[in-house]
Structure 1
């Protein structure tokens, strides 16, 4: 990425240390020339290798079959272009334009994060609800009951985002600090890696759009199945692309944080694509599922605020389950996947054990807003993309306004996630490197101060809860 001006939060101690080795063991990677594969720290099991090769094969098989399906649907759609129910010249331009807009918006969004991270963090949490609500209003204006119902869902989602933004507002200052520290000096050639990822995601999305249009031209039940298959393939492929970038950038950033050496992000991406795709595919499948499970468990715990003993024991059981699930797959494991060539499950387990070995760090990790920030940023990109195509279709071909708007939102969201993966990678590398050597001079007091702050707040909450229980028990 372009070299930004020094941020007020960036620690000169953390970044500008002389190139001296810490107490950590020597890195398993040759820092100057990243030509070979990172040697694994443990002997990989046959089962692990089998699963990595299996998922790698599934990825390439999916890409091949999806491409063939898209080509067949596109050709069929061109043959049936004379159908009065489908007008390619009215359907394709708005959606393809929105795909291009998503790429431009993603580039602009991350540039804002680079040069003014503090403003970008705050802008994300108020701009995303506004844009999401605008999409909902646009769908309501289309006029049909189905459109109005889906538009109402978008408006409700926007309200939820607003409430969430109010709830997490006390954590924004820390988020600004940790983001500024971890991204102050990106690895060399990060700009090329991110730009390539965005271009690939935009081109691939545009290619799939042609297949969706071909299936839309006939609108049979089988075509609806084809469209669903294409969208599922898009989601998984974008996850793999995003996580491949995250592994490469986090590997390069970890080398700097842990060992004080610079590493080329482009070379890290080359090694990642050549050797680590299998583990990335496994992580791209597990992480969304585990995030959904853990999020559902947290929601249940928040709603079980009753003093009833059965409810309390149930919430405690769910909390235990959530703590077990997160060790099987988490996004911080991608750092060890890239650095040590571990299997994804093993990398996730080892990373989380490191977090738990530092008193209070797990609570800091759980309260981290980087994932929410990237999610809402991608939602904003998706909303901009859907507004572009939705307004266009509303003016020229209202019958297809709903589906084109939804397609544009989905594509824009995934392009936005790919574009901002490097931010999440830098923050993940910072946490992992800190957990392995908390006393390193390359880190300032940001995380220890946050740990102390959270412990004080927890103690304050416990005292208030104890006082409330004592007052309830008193006659």
Structure 2
């Protein structure tokens, strides 16, 4: 009952946040651009074009980036690890050229980020072979309709939504200089709304594709992805909204805990919210925290945690987002240098975040496919790459005396899967007692 109320609260909060944001954007745009209240130093026709152009370029670049991986380019998986540092360095040079104190500070930060990305790419280079194999295997056969339905339509929705928010940011920027604090508040609220909404859109794709892909791999049952997406939005919106906040927050704090060596704390944080939980929400119709905890316990029980943490799909998506964000930042920055140089820094910052979120939205189906591939292995351990990697981990941890894999354990505990329905129609107001079990009763999370 408590979980049921929590998911309803998040569903209501997300809907209210959309309504409040829309009303605020309309109000602040009209009020800020009014001739009586507008800052005389603000020029809309010199501020809006570069940021709107960057937003459109974000959609185009994100689609091209996603299309490159969809067409299975041989080096597509490795490209972000060397291309993102280059694009970030070019963005830093542009910021350095602008010459203001803020732009120089951001340029130094960008150069440091590019160096860190480059070092990280060299550090994870030995894992490229395994990660690339898993990536191409998991995304080899995307569910029917993924390319036509999820990628172009979701990107189009993201572009329109970001363009709408850009109007509000411009209206807040146009406020009189005496209302600087109000302008900062409005811009901060709009950016937070962008973060939550873009995360929500990405996680709708995450839940839809991972659930459909999991069903196809485990049972060889094909689902209509359009219907699955409608079910995800209508039935699991509260849980998706909750996960859209919990996953980034838990991931951030968990990274700090791992750096500090707090292993137990990192485990607790992973159970509270992880990206694997979206699959179990769609499959089991369970609460998000419950699904995250159940999935992580499965990985822990069978020794999969070191393996999934060494996978590079999350760094691939993150670095891709940084690269697209850098491209959009340069588009808006160079246009600002031509139209009105004093706007270059602020519009470059906004364009960077827009490009990052648009790219993460475009690559959501690849991340979902890899998640489904790992979870499906827990039911049907048929991947040679995962089995070999598990054997290597077990040999390194237990020595040469322990060479057995977790395959026999998985088969003895799980056995054959039992599917009564792929994804059950449900809503956050209804009961989840009719969830569709994909594993045996002893492995199913308790609602």
Task: Name the TM-score class by shorter chain.
Answer: 0.7 to 0.9
The number of residues matched between the two structures is: 395
Which residue in 1 is equivalent to 2:4? 49
2:75 aligned counterpart, secondary structure: helix
Separation in 1 of the partners of 2:30 and 2:125? 51
Q: Give how far 1:380 is off.
A: 1.0
CA displacement at 1:83 relative to structure 2? 4.6
Q: How does 1:20-59 map to 2 (within 5 A)?
A: 46-59=1-14
Counterpart of 1:326 (choices 270, 274, 280) is 270
Contact 1:236 1:284 in 2 (8 A): yes
Q: Distance between the aligned counterparts of 1:225 and 1:76, measured in 2?
A: 15
1:74 is displaced (CA, Å) by 1.1
Contact 1:194 1:245 in 2 (8 A): no
Q: Is the 8 A contact 2:55 2:159 kept in 1?
A: yes
In structure 1, the partner of 2:200 is 240
SS in 2 for 1:49: helix
Deviation at 1:68?
A: 0.5
CA distance in 2, matches of 1:105, 1:432: 31
Please give the residue correspondences for 1:371-450 in structure 2 after superposition, counting only pairs within 5 Å: 371-438=314-381, 443-450=382-389
Q: For residues 114 and 452 of structure 1, what CA distance do their matches in structure 2 show?
A: 31
Query: Per-residue CA shift, 1:262-285, capped at 9, x if unaligned?
Result: 222211101001100011111111
Could you list the per-position Cα deviations for residues 204-248 of structure 1 after superposition, in whole angstroms to 9, with x for gaps in the alignment?
000000000011012521111100000011101111111011101
Q: CA RMSD in A?
A: 1.6
Deviation at 1:457, TM superposition (A): 4.7
Aligned residue runs from structure 1 range 66-465, under 5 A: 66-80=21-35, 83-191=39-147, 192-218=149-175, 219=177, 220-301=180-261, 318-358=262-302, 360-438=303-381, 443-458=382-397
Counterpart Cα distance in 2 of 1:213 and 1:397: 14
d(CA) in 1 for partners of 2:118 and 2:187? 32
1:31 — aligned with what? none
Residue 311 of structure 2 aligns to a residue in which SS? coil
Q: Find the aligned partners of 2:69 and 2:242 in 1 and give their Cα distance.
A: 29
Whether the 8 Å contact between 2:72 and 2:136 is mirrored in structure 1 is: no
3-state SS, counterpart of residue 383 of structure 2: coil
- CA distance in structure 1 between the partners assigned to 2:101 and 2:269 by the alignment: 40
Task: Work out the CA distance in 2 between the residues paired with 1:92 and 1:346.
Answer: 44
> Structure 2 CA distance, aligned partners of 1:351 and 1:165?
29
Aligned to 2:427: none
C-alpha separation in 2, matches of 1:83 and 1:345: 47
1:294 touches 1:322 (CA, 8 Å); kept in 2? yes
User: Within 2, Cα distance between the matches of 1:150 and 1:445?
Assistant: 45
CA distance in 1, matches of 2:309, 2:294: 17
Q: In structure 2, do the counterparts of structure 1 residues 164 and 278 end up closer, same or farther at CA, with 3 Å as the change threshold?
A: same
CA contact (8 A) 2:247 2:274 kept: yes
Shift of 1:260: 1.3
Q: 1:431 to 1:404 in 2, by over 3 A?
A: same
Indicate if the aligned counterparts of 1:252 and 1:265 stay in contact, CA closer than 8 A: yes
Partner Cα distance (2:138, 2:314) in 1? 14
For residues 276 and 162 of structure 1, what CA distance do their matches in structure 2 show?
39
Partner Cα distance (2:343, 2:394) in 1? 53
Q: Which runs of 5+ in 2 are unaligned?
A: 400-447
- CA deviation digits over 1:2-21, x for unaligned, max 9? xxxxxxxxxxxxxxxxxxxx
The TM-score, its normalising length taken from structure 1, stands at 0.81
Gaps of 5+ in 1: 1-45, 302-317, 461-475
